[in-house]
């Protein structure tokens, strides 16, 4: 006969038995502070995609992981003094042998982490695979059928763009963007091994994805010499305060995307040092150009003249860098544009009247979409922008959304996409300005603003088709960039400053302006 007491006893016993296999075996006996200090612990603000194909995403955190594991033909330090500088890595030379031909000479002492020797076939396969139109990170100047890649020998690559009718120089800066994958992996296609793990030639070898931790270990056969640290653990930790406390408590060695207030806090810590650099990312106020009222360039320009960017810089503090162009100052071709729209209330009113909306009368209700918790200070400067626009008669409402909701509304879609203005940054790890300009302002792409403008298309095509880097720079600075400043499909608000916090004993790290981190010479004293 079962009674209440027995039922409870038996139920409890059954529960314990059922739960036992599930319980963490480390429970109760793992030591505190179990993490060793030998691998670098990197806490990221952004999660990854889970698909390791380097061409399957444009996610910054995953690109950072790729920077540890993968090799590049060249790396671009991207300084303001010399935006076009390239430091050879897998390549020894990249030469324009004609307007439409590029010769790339490769190192001959390199192996992939799976033991396969690196040859020109890997570069050819990577270029051809990465330029397929269905690749989300497809960034090359034209689709595969617009260029030929030949491999005269195992360590020479010739890129010929004569079929596409554009200059081969476009491939130069892209060399610092696409990680070189193994031809053997690529042969399996997008559903193959490429998606399951990274296989590169970099200083660290991909080991596994353990929950939110990407585990990498030092690659002893790295061609520049085995790294000193035993590895890198790259983890997604969503909360900025948690990341900071982890760094201060010694659980993390390096954290990214510090807020300006956190910079102030950490500046007073003896065990912590900061690394700041002007980044590859500009922050934009994107106009939905395919629907009223921002399908009218006069209204867009009026809105730009309503915004005092100096006030935004005050809000951003150390996290922002003033710039007057659509690309970061560390990108090839950057100049401060003379005709970049500045705050000018009278000009704003004149343009509004010319567009048929005197003092903003007749404008529809406008929605300005921004996110909270992804970029620093978006809500704060969003409120400032909203107030400034309202002051000039724009009936704007600010919608601050959590990241998923904002991301769901971000991109252009038939009919123009939600809202009328969207806040978003864009960054690509190469000095190549086309990765931003063509991606967003050519009618074949127009990711967020949805602009379809024949004049802009022609200017973009003209600079793409220039036959040398010098000619491209000329075309960018005297034609395309001023034209964009005149039509403003988006207003670039400022260039982001990338701020990392790290333990003071972590030395020898080099952080590129796109977040890629060279830890091959890092030491932790």
Partner 1 sequence: MFILKFLLRRLFQGAIIVFIVSALIFTLLRVVPGDPVRLMAGGMAPEALIEQIAEEMGLRDPIPVQFTRYMAGVVQGDFGQSFVRPKNGASVGGSSFDDSTRGERAQVLDLIADTAPMTIQLALLSMVFALIIAIPIGVGGGLAPNRWPDRLALYLSSVFVSLPNFWLGIVLALLLSVKLQLLPAIGYKGFAYMILPALVLAIEMAPFIIRTLTVSVAAVMSENFIDIARIRGLSRNRIVFHHGMKNAAVPLLNLLGVQFSMLLGGVLVVEFIFDYPGLGLLTINAVMQRDFPLIQGIAIITAAAFVVINIVVDLAATTIDPRLDY
CB of 269 to partner 1, least distance (A): 9
| 493, 370 Cβ separation under 8 angstroms | no
Nearest to 165 by CA among 104, 97, 96, 99: 99
- Cβ proximity to partner 1: between 136 and 225 the closer is 136
Extract the tokens encoding 44: 């990221």
- Cβ proximity to partner 1: between 165 and 189 the closer is 189
How many whole angstroms separate alpha carbon 401 and alpha carbon 383?
13
107-112, long-range: CB within 8 Å, 24+ apart, which pairs?
107/155, 107/223, 108/154, 108/155, 109/223, 110/71, 110/201, 110/223, 111/201, 111/221, 112/182, 112/199, 112/200, 112/201
- Cβ proximity to partner 1: between 114 and 271 the closer is 271
CB of 384 to partner 1, least distance (A): 26
- Cβ proximity to partner 1: between 17 and 29 the closer is 29
CB of 431 to partner 1, least distance (A): 23
- Cβ proximity to partner 1: between 117 and 418 the closer is 418
- Cβ proximity to partner 1: between 119 and 399 the closer is 399
- Cβ proximity to partner 1: between 78 and 280 the closer is 280
CB of 10 to partner 1, least distance (A): 11
CB of 241 to partner 1, least distance (A): 6
Return residues touching partner 1 (CB under 8 A). 2-5, 7-8, 11, 19, 22-24, 26-35, 46-51, 53, 56-59, 62, 134-136, 190-191, 195, 208-212, 235-239, 241-242, 245-246, 248-252, 402-405, 407-411, 413-414, 447
Nearest to 130 by CA among 62, 98, 177: 177
- Cβ proximity to partner 1: between 208 and 314 the closer is 208
* SS3 call for 397: strand
- Cβ proximity to partner 1: between 184 and 447 the closer is 447
CB of 468 to partner 1, least distance (A): 32
Extract the tokens encoding 294: 């921002």
Q: Report in angstroms the alpha-carbon separations of 506 from 98, 215, 229, 250, 275.
A: 45, 19, 10, 12, 12
* SS3 call for 91: strand
CB of 237 to partner 1, least distance (A): 5
Contacts of 140 (CB under 8 A, 6+ apart): 127, 130, 131, 147, 170, 171, 174, 178
How many whole angstroms separate alpha carbon 385 and alpha carbon 396?
10
How many whole angstroms separate alpha carbon 298 and alpha carbon 310?
22
CB of 22 to partner 1, least distance (A): 5
Contacts of 282 (CB under 8 A, 6+ apart): 323, 326, 327, 328, 425, 426, 427, 436, 492, 493, 494, 495, 496
Nearest to 74 by CA among 96, 63, 85, 90: 90
CB of 504 to partner 1, least distance (A): 15
């Amino acid at each position: 006969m079962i009674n209440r007491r027995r039922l409870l006893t038996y139920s409890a016993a059954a529960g314990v038995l059922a739960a036992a296999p599930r319980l963490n075996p480390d429970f109760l006996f793992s030591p505190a502070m179990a993490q060793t200090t030998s691998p670098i612990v990197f806490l990221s603000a952004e999660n990854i995609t889970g698909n390791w194909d380097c061409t399957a995403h444009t996610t910054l955190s995953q690109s950072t992981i790729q920077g540890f594991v993968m090799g590049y033909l060249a790396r671009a330090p991207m300084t303001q003094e010399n935006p076009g500088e390239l430091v050879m890595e897998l390549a020894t030379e990249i030469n324009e042998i004609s307007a439409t031909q590029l010769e790339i000479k490769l190192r001959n002492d390199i192996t992939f982490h799976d033991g396969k020797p690196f040859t020109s076939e890997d570069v050819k396969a990577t270029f051809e695979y990465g330029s397929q139109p269905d690749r989300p990170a497809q960034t090359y100047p034209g689709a595969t059928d617009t260029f030929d890649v030949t491999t005269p020998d195992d360590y020479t690559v010739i890129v010929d763009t004569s079929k596409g009718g554009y200059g081969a120089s476009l491939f130069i800066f892209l060399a610092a963007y696409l990680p070189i994958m193994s031809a053997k992996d690529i042969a399996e296609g997008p559903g193959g091994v490429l998606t399951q793990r990274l296989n590169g030639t970099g200083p660290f070898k991909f080991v596994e994805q353990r929950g939110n931790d990407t585990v990498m270990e030092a690659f002893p056969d790295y061609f520049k010499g085995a790294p000193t640290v035993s590895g890198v653990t790259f983890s997604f930790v969503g909360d900025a305060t948690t990341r900071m406390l982890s760094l201060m408590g010694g659980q993390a060695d390096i954290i990214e995307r510090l807020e300006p207030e956190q910079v102030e806090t950490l500046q007073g810590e003896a065990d912590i040092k900061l690394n700041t650099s002007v980044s590859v990312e500009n922050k934009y106020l994107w106009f939905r150009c395919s629907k009223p009222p921002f399908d009218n360039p006069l209204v867009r320009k009026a809105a730009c003249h309503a915004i005092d960017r100096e006030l935004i810089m005050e809000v951003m503090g150390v996290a922002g860098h003033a710039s007057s162009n659509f690309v970061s100052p560390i990108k090839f071709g950057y100049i401060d544009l003379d005709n970049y729209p500045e705050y000018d209330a009278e000009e704003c009113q004149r343009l509004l009247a010319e567009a048929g909306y005197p003092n903003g009368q007749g404008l529809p209700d406008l929605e300005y979409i921004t996110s909270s918790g992804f970029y620093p200070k978006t809500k704060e400067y969003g409120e400032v922008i909203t107030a400034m626009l309202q002051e000039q008669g724009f009936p704007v409402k600010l919608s601050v959304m959590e990241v998923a909701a904002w991301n769901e509304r971000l991109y252009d879609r038939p009919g123009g996409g939600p809202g009328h203005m969207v806040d978003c940054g864009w960054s690509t790890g190469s000095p190549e300005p086309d990765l931003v300009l063509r991606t967003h302002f050519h009618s074949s792409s127009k990711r967020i603003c949805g602009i379809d403008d024949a004049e802009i298309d022609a200017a973009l095509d003209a600079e793409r088709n220039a036959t040398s880097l010098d000619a491209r720079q000329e075309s960018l600075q005297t034609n395309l960039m001023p034209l964009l400043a005149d039509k403003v499909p988006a207003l670039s608000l400022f260039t982001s400053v990338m701020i990392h916090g790290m333990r003071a004993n972590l030395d020898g790290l080099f952080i590129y302006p796109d977040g890629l981190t060279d830890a091959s010479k890092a030491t932790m004293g």
